[in-house]
Structure 1
C-alpha cells in the first residue's frame, strides 16, 4: 500500500521540477526555433523540460523507495543558503562594474564557506583554480568577449 512520506529525494525532485517549470515559463515568450537553428527560447525550455522530467523521476523514486522508510529530513541549512544567496547576488551586481574576474573570484570565495570545514587557504586555492579554468575555457577556448577587468582598466 502507498505510504506517503517526504524523503530527501521526494523534496529534492520536486525542487528540481519547480526550477524546470520556472525555466519553461521564463522562456515561453521567447522564440523557440528548431534544433538546427536554435532561437533564444530553445535552450531555456529544453533545460526546463529536462529538469522537470528528472525532478519528477527523482521525486517518484524517493516517494516509492522502500530502502529508507522512515528517513528523517534534516534541518534547513539557513546559514548556507544565506551564504550562497549573498555570493550570487554580489556576483550579479558586480559583474558589469567590476568585471568577470573580480566578481567570479568573490562568488567562488564566499560560496566556498557554505561548506563548514573549508579553510581560507582552501577557499583561495579553489578560487584561483576556478578563475584559471574560466579564463582558459571561456576566454581562451571559445573566445567569449566579456570584460575580465573593470571597464576603465
Structure 2
C-alpha cells in the first residue's frame, strides 16, 4: 500500500488556501469580459490557476508514494521573519545603514554553520551597498543614520 506524499499534499492545500483568500479579497472587483477586462479579471484568473495547480499537486500526492513530512526548521523561519519585521520597525529610527547591518546579522544567524567574522563583514558590505544603491544612486528619501 502506498503512503500519501504529505509534503506535496500540504503544499497543494496551501496553494488552494492562498487562492481562496485571493478570491475572497478580490470578490468586489468587477470582472469585465475578455474584450473589456475589469480590474478583477487578471487577479481572478491567476487565483483560479493557482487553485488548479494546488488541486493537481494535492491530487497527485494522494496517489504517489511519499515520504514522511520533514521536520520543520523553526530557527530559520523565526530569525528571518524577525529580521523582516525588525527592518520595518528599525528603519525610521536607526536609519538604513544600522538597520541593514542589524537585519543581516539576525537573518545570517539563522544558519547553523554561520561564522561571526564572515557574517559581520557581509553585514558591513551589504549595509554600505544598500546605502549606495537606495539613497545615493536611486535617491530614495530615507535616513542613512539614526534620526535624533
In the superposition, the TM-score normalised over structure 1's length comes to: 0.60
- CA gap of 1:112–1:141, structure 2 versus 1, over 3 A, is same
Higher relative contact order (CA 8 A, sep 6+): 2
CA deviation after TM superposition for structure 1 residue 89, in Å? 3.0
User: Is 2:116 the partner of 1:120?
Assistant: yes
User: Is 2:138 the partner of 1:139?
Assistant: no
- CA gap of 1:13–1:61, structure 2 versus 1, over 3 A, is closer
In the superposition, the TM-score normalised over structure 2's length comes to: 0.62
Instruction: Supply the distance in 1 between the matched residues of 2:143 and 2:101 (Cα, whole angstroms).
Output: 14
**Aligned residue pair count:** 134
Gaps of 5+ in 1: 30-44
Gaps of 5+ in 2: 29-41
**Which residue matches 2:6?**
6
Which structure: larger Rg? 2
CA deviation after TM superposition for structure 1 residue 18, in Å? 5.4
**Which residue matches 2:73?**
77
CA contact (8 A) 1:16 1:51 kept: no
